[in-house]
Structure 1
């Protein structure tokens, strides 16, 4: 069954804005002097990669990967762009302090994430139970990501809000150890 012109146009626009926000994330990491690499054909070859061995399949998972955050470890990063209303609760909760979703992840705003990477992160945080976070779980599980970046258009302008970074608990503990931070 053929897609209607409207559906094709929407799909193309979503792909283009997704690529734009991926480039925005890439430039942000580069401005922080962190080498981050875009995964070849991430997302576009799902049917093909499903036929590969696990070792070969790992070459195509997630949007980005880096070895600069934790020595000797490849960290996979997934980037997600959605309308503000989808991420609103996370933007609001992380406005003035990080958010820990118990036994799952920590969500920090862009400034706090940079401070974490610089070893300057020592700030109070809020802990909540892991309820109503299926979408976030799906983002992490989609390509076995260890960090998920979230971004939304700013409703008050033609620009985007800053990124939010959702960091898996295992990675948070390693970052703390590696970068001398306090949780």
Structure 2
């Protein structure tokens, strides 16, 4: 073994460990996302996510730890002369918890709506579909102007107890998040909406 191979071998080993494949059981993905303007003048988001938990997170929920998931939305106006302008930035928070006494999983949305489910899969399915979430008044967007919309979902690690926050910084099992999903959106003019 020459000197060059001796120096490259540890570097390659570190690179292979760092580039380990992402397991399919710890992924959050954005399957579909779209915006529309309601007759009441609100910009509404509808989205579907693929959401599954790692064994570590499943155990944590089953032992009574509440997990907070956040859906983030950004709407940006493109500008040729400067950085894009963020017109809307908002988020929707979900709280997932397990109640051992009733053996029910509870999903509570930020607006106060909450539902109980008999299984974790049912609770995750409820969290993975958003229909008609008002992200902004349509008056904040100019008609017939093109906007970029960015959507993602992630576990809010800042809401975990402090010891778990430290673990989440180094362990990907404790930090699932989707990639940003980007799509274009144009607010129709009042005449074209008819």
Q: TM-score normalised to the size of structure 1?
A: 0.23
In terms of fraction of residues, the more strand-rich structure is 2
Higher helix fraction (1 or 2): 1
Structure number with higher relative contact order (C-alpha < 8 Å, ≥ 6 residues apart): 2
